[in-house]
Amino acid sequence: MAVCALCAPSAQDILWQDDFCRVVLLNDADYPAYCRVELLAHIKEMTDLPPQDRARTMKVVFAVEAAMREVIQPDKINLASLGNKTPHMHWHILPRFESDRHFPNSHWGEAVRDSGAQPLNTEVRERLQKVVIERVECALKN
Amino acid sequence: MAVCALCAPSAQDILWQDDFCRVVLLNDADYPAYCRVELLAHIKEMTDLPPQDRARTMKVVFAVEAAMREVIQPDKINLASLGNKTPHMHWHILPRFESDRHFPNSHWGEAVRDSGAQPLNTEVRERLQKVVIERVECALKN
């Protein structure tokens, strides 16, 4: 039986984590600020979680969204939990720009232009991490 | 200026609604139980809502997920809020089957087989609506 890629992840750029979930910067070539919120436990669907853990998950997702909006001002945020290939609960938090490779399509859909994306520079990455930490920790207190 | 398609929707198959949002059965040819939760107000991002309205939205989304799992037992649930083309908050709740047109890809991605989907028969549609109503109304009480 194959080991789940999110139960045994390879090296990750983790922006924040606790004993429930982690916020990972994917360092995607087309979408440099693309993050995932990954639960530590191997849970398949949101409704496999008790309601308070669903709420906890979404507080983290929305805190990451808020941090992205503050730091990189995208034109739109895309949120998704699919898991067809890796049925271990994770949320995609993807900042979109009208100039990005697939806009206005889904980034899983047809590309409509070359990507002009550049990796996040160190200063922006550090700022994103700082704001993610602040926003997540504040959200989890409320 | 174009009118927003979700502020002024054409005829919809509404399974449930209140003064905040509605649950719509899309009657999609490939995904017959595909539903959307659409906010009534023209809100662009989840973090444009106050936290209690984010939670209210997600309770409805998860209640629809639970109803789908009860009534049609999909292999996986896909949840997404993109809004690149229609920036009026709506959530896609999409039951996936390993035999469906795009599985394991996103349904926005490449099709990998012909769709064998059939429209929901009346009995299943009525049962789905009944369970959606029960699950949503219960979730909103808690």
Q: Is the domain covering A13-107+117-141 a CATH 3.30.428.10 domain? A: yes
A contacts of B67 (beta carbons < 8 Å): none
Furthest C-alpha separation in chain A: 43
Q: What is the pLDDT of residues A78-120, one digit of tens each?
A: 999 999 999 999 999 999 999 999 999 999 999 999 988 999 9
The owner of tokens 């905040």 is B20
Contacts of residue A55, defined as CB under 8 A and 6 or more positions apart, other chains included, come to: B55, B58
Other Cβ atoms within 10 Å of B33 Cβ, number: 23
- Interface residue of B68, B71, B77 to substitute, partner A, most A CBs within 10 Å: B77
Query: Does B78 contact A80 at a Cβ distance shorter than 8 Å?
Result: yes
Peptide bond into A104 cis (omega under 30): yes
Residue A142 has pLDDT above 90, yes or no: no
Inter-residue contact A90 to A36 (CB < 8 Å): yes
Q: What is the pLDDT of residues B61-109, one digit of tens each?
A: 999 999 999 999 999 999 999 999 999 999 999 999 999 999 999 999 9
Rounded to an integer, what distance in angstroms lies between the CA atom of residue B85 and that of residue A106? Answer: 10
* DSSP conformation letters of B64-88: HHHHHHHHH--SEEEEEE--SSS-S
Rounded to an integer, what distance in angstroms lies between the CA atom of residue B92 and that of residue A8? Answer: 29
Smallest CA–CA distance from A76 into chain B, residue: B84
Q: What is the pLDDT of residues A44-85, one digit of tens each?
A: 999 999 999 999 999 999 999 999 999 999 999 999 999 999
Query: Does B78 contact A84 at a Cβ distance shorter than 8 Å?
Result: yes
Q: What pLDDT sits at residue A1?
A: 55
Nearest-CA distance B14 → chain A (Å)? 23
- Quick one: B30 exposed, middle or buried, by C-beta within 10 A (0-12, 13-18, 19+)? middle
Q: What pLDDT sits at residue A116?
A: 86
Contact A66/B at CB under 8 A: yes
B contacts of A79 (beta carbons < 8 Å): 46, 80-82
Q: What separation in angstroms does the CA of B132 have from each of A84, A140, B34? A: 23, 29, 13
Token digits for B35?
A: 């539903």
Q: Where are the domains of chain B?
A: 13-107+117-141
Contact A105/B at CB under 8 A: yes
A contacts of B77 (beta carbons < 8 Å): 45-47
Contact A5/B at CB under 8 A: no
Residue B5 has pLDDT above 60, yes or no: yes
Query: Does B108 contact A104 at a Cβ distance shorter than 8 Å?
Result: no
Token digits for A127?
A: 């700022």
Nearest-CA distance A55 → chain B (Å)? 7
Contacts of residue A90, defined as CB under 8 A and 6 or more positions apart, other chains included, come to: A6, A36, A37, A38, A39, A81, A83
What is the ipTM metric for this complex? 0.97
Contacts of residue A140, defined as CB under 8 A and 6 or more positions apart, other chains included, come to: A18, A56, A59, A60, A63
Smallest CA–CA distance from B69 into chain A, residue: A47
